[in-house]
Structure 1
Amino acid sequence: MHTVSVLALDDVIAFDLATAVEVFSRVPLPDETNGYRVLVCAATPMVTAGPLRVGTEHGLDALAFADTIVIPGRNDVTTDVPADVIAALRRAYQRGARIASICSGAFTLAAAGLLDGRRATTHWVAADLFRDRYPAVELDPDVLYVDDGQILTSAGASAGLDLCLHMVQRDHGSSVAATAARLAVAPLHRSGGQAQFIVRNQLPANTIAAPNTLDAVLVWIEQNASAELTLADIASAGAMSIRTLNRRFQSEMGQSPMQWVTGVRVRHAQQLLESTAEGVEKIGRLVGFSSPANFREQFRRLTGVAPQTYRSTFRGRLVS
């Protein structure tokens, strides 16, 4: 039987840990047996999981014979990975075990050097920190998961469910995976990627304009994004030349002023798609896009899904 060892490090995210255990423990095969033997292992007999304490019966030796190893995330991604854990993961990789991470579990894989030169993902909130710490990894924060063969990584929370179901489908086919998905009350495949969950260009509620920064300009764009803005309009609002405006945006925001405006408009559209019953074309006009086609193109480019798909994902049925 295929053995899945779920590695519980101290400060493990309980949701990630439970996701792997529950998905692989509920994969009925046609002969009525379960598709996997699931073990939870740790370097110590007891680990913390937020407000919980999790006791494990298996030590790191369970990584030595596992067919698949799943690494849930940890709440504090800056915590060092124990040397014995790194060594055990490297040995498992060398013997050919499949290793998958959920959420910030990618930090553990990267600390072991198993993601160098590979495409990978993690929770979008931790993406910048991950890039800074592990520049040798080709990080893609917009996707739900990455399957690089022997090494797999997923984004945060429910993306771990997507990844686990994907591995079930790889191992046992679509029919068995579909049954596992129904037992988890989850779709076997979700439209789009992690990009649709990212809050873009979000200003703090208590933003205060300060001299010699873009704060005042960003607040002005937030309030006027629905208008037909030009670079001259934005520069005038910031009391600076267009050249200075472009230079400061590239330096401080990493993008052009109009790219920032598009991001604000898409975020405003997301809020309307979530909270109103207005038609997609009208929402595009309300937030400042020049045409329905341009709205749909820019929305899909930044979120990875069409506006109507986003609405179906994030908004429940209206109560009349």
Structure 2
Amino acid sequence: MPHTVAVLAFDGMAPFELGVVVEVFGLERPELAELDWYELRVCAEEPGRELAAVGGFGLRARYGLDVLAAADTVIVPGATGEVSPALVGALRAAHARGARLVSICSGAFALAATGLLDGRRATTHWRYAGRLAERYPLVEVDPDVLYVDNGDVLSSAGSAAGIDLCLYLVRADHGAAVANTVARRFVVPPHREGGQAQFVEAAVAPVGPGDDGVARSMAWALGRLRAPLTVAGLAREAGMSERSYLRHFARRTGVSPMRWVVSQRVAASLPLLEAGAGSVEEVAGAVGFESAATFRHHFGRVMRTTPSGYRRAFAGRG
């Protein structure tokens, strides 16, 4: 049976996050015809009633909280207001059935209201992190990451981080190759690690005239991940001094050049691990790590598991 995904719609919601869920889980995907793709259900507390969306238009959800409680994955977009007892009950019922609960942005308030995040780590948009921690002091709020995976309950930061978390779910369900296919259609990067910072300052930094060189150097690096890469080499490819390159690169991506390189090498290793292509040592060399030990260290930091553990979980999905 297809995996059912239910997303909550409500009065006053911002449409972007709902659109992200629909884009990832609701579109027909003829390019993935061999898979049983997800079945998406848009749910509301009062199905059929027009809901006001930010931007001056309305929408109606066909399904109610009974359908939400019966789904395999339940996604709650941003909502910082009061959480109704009916919604809390539906979320708890879904979780008790074994459903995966997911929040995007301030949707973490709804998950926290269930008590399922008590004593656990979660994130939300940096703007709401203090409020979430104050309202739900038993939740360990981490405002500095893109998303947090607790297995059964997942949370993401601001709206665009919802794209990262939705692609992460696809990768967990179907493997890196399928997630990459979805990302290509979405025209977004296929993988940003959950532990990457939200980069408040970088999000509003102006684009400088040297940034074209940064993009050129990134494309160059992606084409030769297996080879040794240094800041000096990347700066040379960008036509900048190292100092200038580091400044422009951080403004563009929010991370250092070498941390970005490491994350790209880890991402490149995922399809190889899934396909069973060689030993961990061979995979490490194929994506540019100096040794298996270095590969394991960085893989663990990015993916929160070992290369062998990832292979056991996802073998055959490449």
TM-score, normalisation: structure 1: 0.63
What's 1:240 paired with? none
Q: Distance in 1 between matches of 2:197 and 2:128?
A: 14
Aligned to 2:255: 305
Residue 26 of structure 2 is matched in structure 1 by: 25
In structure 2, the partner of 1:124 is: 126
User: 2:50 — aligned with what?
Assistant: 46
Alignment of 1:127-206 (within 5 A): 127-190=129-192, 195-199=197-201
State whether structure 2 residue 10 is matched by structure 1 residue 5: no
- Partners of 1:10 and 1:153 lie apart in 2 by 21
Cα offset for 1:12? 1.7
CA drift at 1:188: 1.1
**Contact 1:280–1:308 (CA<8 Å) still a contact in 2?**
no
Is the partner of 1:10 in helix, strand or coil? coil
Alignment of 1:275 with 2:275, yes or no, is no
1:49 to 1:271, Cα distance in 2 relative to 1, 3 A = closer
Alignment of 1:170-249 (within 5 A): 170-190=172-192, 195-199=197-201
Q: TM (normalized to structure 2)?
A: 0.63
Cα distance, 1:151 vs. partner?
A: 0.5
Q: In structure 1, what is the Cα distance between the partners aligned to 2:71 and 2:77?
A: 16
Structure 2 unpaired stretches of 5+: 211-239, 261-318
Match of 1:87 in 2: 89
The CA distance in 1 between the partners of 2:190 and 2:75, in whole Å, is: 19
% identical equivalent positions: 49
**For the Cα contact (< 8 Å) 2:126–2:144, is it kept in 1?**
yes
Give the equivalent residue in structure 1 for 2:76: 71
RMSD in angstroms over aligned alpha carbons? 2.9
1:176 is aligned with what amino acid? V
Query: Is the CA contact (8 Å cut-off) linking 2:7 and 2:76 kept in structure 1?
Result: yes
The one-letter code of the counterpart of 2:190 is L
Query: Kindly tell me: are residues 150 and 306 of structure 1, through their superposed partners in 2, closer, same or farther at Cα, counting changes over 3 Å?
Result: same
Q: 1:126 to 1:28 in 2, by over 3 A?
A: farther
Query: Matches of 1:304 and 1:138 in 2, distance apart?
Result: 24
Larger Rg, first or second structure (1 or 2): 1
Instruction: State the Cα distance separating 1:87 from its structure 2 match.
Output: 0.8
The alpha-carbon distance between structure 1 residues 282 and 174, as it changes in their structure 2 partners (threshold 3 A), is closer
Contact map agreement 1:280 1:307 (CA 8 A) in 2: no
**CA gap 1:34/1:22 in 2 versus in 1, 3 angstroms:** farther
Contact 1:121 1:145 in 2 (8 A): yes
For 1:112 and 1:150, the matched residues in 2 are separated by: 13
Q: CA deviation at 1:181?
A: 1.0
Helix, strand or coil for the counterpart of 1:104? helix
Q: Match of 1:49, as an amino acid?
A: A
Task: Output the amino acid matched with 2:98.
Answer: G
Structure 1 distance, partners of 2:93, 2:194, is 35
Name stretches of at least 5 consecutive residues in structure 1 with no aligned partner. Answer: 200-266, 288-295, 311-320
Cα deviation for residue 137 of structure 1 reads 0.8
Distance 2:259 2:12 in 1: 35
Cα gap change, 1:3 to 1:22, in 2 (>3 Å):
same
